[in-house]
Amino acid sequence: MKEQFIYYLWENRLLYVDLKTTEGEEVTIYSVGNRNFDSGADFINARIKIGEVFWVGQVEIHVRSSDWFRHNHQNDDNYKNVILHVVYENDIDTIKIPTLEIKGKFDVSLFHNYNSFLLSKSWIPCGEFVGGVQNLTLVSWFDRMLIEHLERECKDLDFKLKNNCYDWEQTYYQRLMRYFGLKVNNDSFEYLSRILPLHIILKHLDNELYVDAMFFGCAGFLENDFEDGYPNLLKREFRMLKSKFDLRVMPLSNWKFLRLRPPNFPTIRIAQMSRIITRNGNMFSRIRDSNNIEDLYDIFNVELCDYWDNHFQFDKVSKVKRKKILGKTAVDSVMINAIVPMLFHYGYTHSMDCYKEKAMCFLENIEAEDNLIIRNFKKSGLYFQNAFQTQAALYMYKYYCCRRRCLECRIYCLLSRRCSE
């Protein structure tokens, strides 16, 4: 028996109705209360009648009543308002708080179902059954998962916003840079955004060569000697700009090329980012005020200078000559991971639901993602219409499925009851 299973029984009111304390007093539950994730008892604001007395307070849950002393609750003021101690087994009688022993007070098949899910050899505990869940249940649950996901992102963004003195443009720039470089170069792109702040770039928006020089110079790509004229020109300009703005230079070893397709090389992505910024300047205000997702796609519709038509790196000529344009999948990834969380966070911070709703609406208009986890869900019978649903599913997988938090999952609750019928 685990405490999590008792939480599940209590929160979903799955105990039988003829409940009595270990002292023989009748227990009537009017409200199980709210789950408490901070210090203190497991549930707060519960409303319970014990005997002839109506109580409002906290409920603490343990597998055994002796756990109260094992956890040292008797010396913790956070537990002084506990009105009921709910345990699976009452193994001691020295606790003065009313105790409810639930052994034999619930349908044992619920416990067997729970164990069978945890012992499942499927890629997720409910992998064999999840395809049969009604769409209405999934839609409702995915709504909650997406909100949880975006609110979790808000915590990280709030920390970065404070570090940037609440500069929304700089914070968006950093977020955009991080998710512009693919997973393998995420940290390097974010570090580049910190040593090359947006306000310095904005001083030279009218000069593409200067902006290119600052990006490639700070990234460490201009430290070598070159044969081609373009990188030598950038190197000369960066020497002046580095002195003017006291710019720092990253170690070239920070950048990863191995196993990347050439269009995703950091050199190409840096060149594209440079052009995106010189073309758009401050982007977050445009994103915030836009109501059309096509306007957002237009931000990333840029072309590089002719040098990159037949190069993926400096001084290395490519056999194939073509324009380096960001593909839709790459732009979708940036929209999902940078634009949507920032827009949602803006609404969250300013208590303006219109921006939060706009962020989720944008997700509904982005194609469903395609990765290993999403493909596994499809094999299990779940299909997704858009990025709203895939983001919810990915969050559910990471924070519920992988952590075996089945008892907190609405899908499990539905499947468990179905198995018990």
Q: Which helix (H) or strand (E) holds 313?
A: strand 311-313
Give how far Cα 379 sits from Cα of 14, 120, 307, 383, 390, Å. 32, 16, 44, 9, 14
Q: Collect all residues with Cβ–Cβ distance below 8 Å to 321 and sequence separation of at least 6.
A: 309, 310
Q: What is the distance between the alpha carbons of residues 248 and 220, in angstroms, rounded to a whole number?
A: 9
Residue 150, SS3 per DSSP? helix
Residue that the structure tokens 């200078």 belong to? 305
For residues 301 and 334, give the distance between their C-alpha atoms in angstroms, rounded to a whole number: 13
pLDDT tens for the 421 residues of the chain, in order: 888 889 988 888 888 888 999 999 999 999 999 988 888 899 999 999 999 999 999 999 999 999 999 999 988 989 988 999 999 999 988 778 899 999 989 988 888 888 877 777 788 888 888 888 878 888 999 999 999 999 999 999 999 999 999 999 999 999 999 999 888 999 999 999 999 999 999 999 999 999 999 999 999 999 999 999 999 999 999 999 999 999 999 999 999 998 899 999 999 999 999 999 999 999 999 999 998 999 999 999 999 999 999 999 999 999 889 999 999 999 999 999 999 999 999 999 999 999 999 999 999 999 999 999 999 999 999 999 999 999 999 999 999 998 888 888 888 877 776 655 5
Question: Which residue, among 263, 181, 274, has the nearest Cα to 234 in the 3D structure?
Answer: 274
Q: Are 405 and 396 in contact (CB under 8 A)?
A: no
Here the tokens at position 395 are: 């969050």
Tokens 């012992």 identify what position? 119
- According to DSSP, residue 252 is labeled G
